[in-house]
Amino acid sequence: MTAPDFAYRRGAALVTGATGGIGAAVARLLAARGSSVVLAYRSSKAAAEALAAELGGHAISTVRADLADPAACAALVEAAGPLHTLVHAAGPHVPMVHLSRVTPDRFREQLVQDVSGFFNVVSAALPALRGTQGSIVAVTTAATRRHPVRDGLSSGPKGAVEALVRGIAAEEGRYGVRANCVGPGMLTDGMAERLIAGGDLDERALEVARANIPLRTFGTAEDIAEAVCFLASDRARFITGQKLDVDGGYTA
């Protein structure tokens, strides 16, 4: 029998967007594999507290933070204490709309929430991650490799996040810090679930989406969590600056 991946790690894993479908699945799997977890959320206090209760002693704390605010990110990381992993799974709901219908103000808002939010929390967390030779895993999207029509408001900013991850990997490797991305394809939960519930994706659109996936099925948040936890673990000790698309073959 081998020890769980994170049982020996000093510090905790900080999961942003921990109350979302993917963030919660990641937090659960990190805890199951021996990690202490700090749950960061923006507005869903009750959901964060319920998840913390579910994780029991593995959940160190729940912290509310607006990632668009650098000061809030600094306070979040300070409250989290020593970190071995940062999982960035935060992101606002993004409606599916043609880029021609996206206003400059709406696009700017998306850049602030997606790109600046990621950079703010990474900037705050890097000193702690250097101290533990830790890891960053950003949850982005498979759509940066194969563009689905009406998804540019998501894939554009997420592409910037992926570029930042490559830069961090290139610059922070000398400190033992790794940085990678996981790109979800169509899922039955998380943002896709909200898009279906909101009518952005009707049954015809879902049939087309399935036809574009070689495995002819959608994934789950647990599929994404498996990839995230692998990249954060020492089993991926020689992997950095990479993106793993978990999409059923959509980007093949």
DSSP secondary structure letters along the chain: -PPPTTTT-SSEEEEETTTSHHHHHHHHHHHHTT-EEEEEESS-HHHHHHHHHHHGGGEEEEEE--TT-HHHHHHHHHHH-SEEEEEE----------GGG--HHHHHHHHIIIIIHHHHHHHHHHHHHHHHT-EEEEE--GGGTSPPTT-HHHHHHHHHHHHHHHHHHHHHGGGT-EEEEEEE-SBSSTHHHHHHHTTSS-HHHHHHHHHTSTT-S-B-HHHHHHHHHHHHSGGGTT--S-EEEESTTTT-
Give the type of residue at 17: G
Q: What is the number of other CB atoms lying within 10 angstroms of the CB of residue 46? A: 10
pLDDT attached to residue 1 = 47
The tens digit of pLDDT for each residue in 95-124 reads 889 999 999 999 999 999 999 999 999 999
- Rounded CA-CA distance 180/50 in Å is 29
Long-range contact set of residues 202-205: C-beta below 8 Å, sequence gap at least 24: none
230 Cα distance to chain centroid: 14
Angle between helix 152-172 and helix 117-132 axes, rounded to 10 deg: 30
pLDDT of 235 higher than 60: yes
Confidence of residue 188 (pLDDT cuts 50, 70, 90): confident
pLDDT attached to residue 206 = 78
pLDDT attached to residue 192 = 63
The tens digit of pLDDT for each residue in 71-104 reads 999 999 999 999 999 999 998 778 889 999 999 9
* Residues contacting 71, CB < 8 A, separation 6+: none
* 227: Cα within 13 Å, side-chain hemisphere: 25
The tens digit of pLDDT for each residue in 130-182 reads 999 999 999 999 999 998 888 888 999 999 999 999 999 999 999 999 999 99
pLDDT attached to residue 91 = 84
pLDDT of 190 higher than 70: no
Concatenated DSSP letters for 165-183?
HHHHHHHHGGGT-EEEEEE
- What are the CA-CA distances from residue 94 to residues 22, 110, 194, 196, 220 (Å)? 15, 8, 9, 12, 18
Confidence of residue 3 (pLDDT cuts 50, 70, 90): low
pLDDT attached to residue 207 = 82
The tens digit of pLDDT for each residue in 34-75 reads 999 999 999 999 999 999 999 999 999 999 999 999 999 999
Instruction: Report the residue count for the chain.
Output: 252
Give the type of residue at 7: A
pLDDT attached to residue 195 = 67
Cα angle 116, 121, 127; round to 5: 130
Confidence of residue 21 (pLDDT cuts 50, 70, 90): very high
The pTM assigned to this predicted structure is 0.93
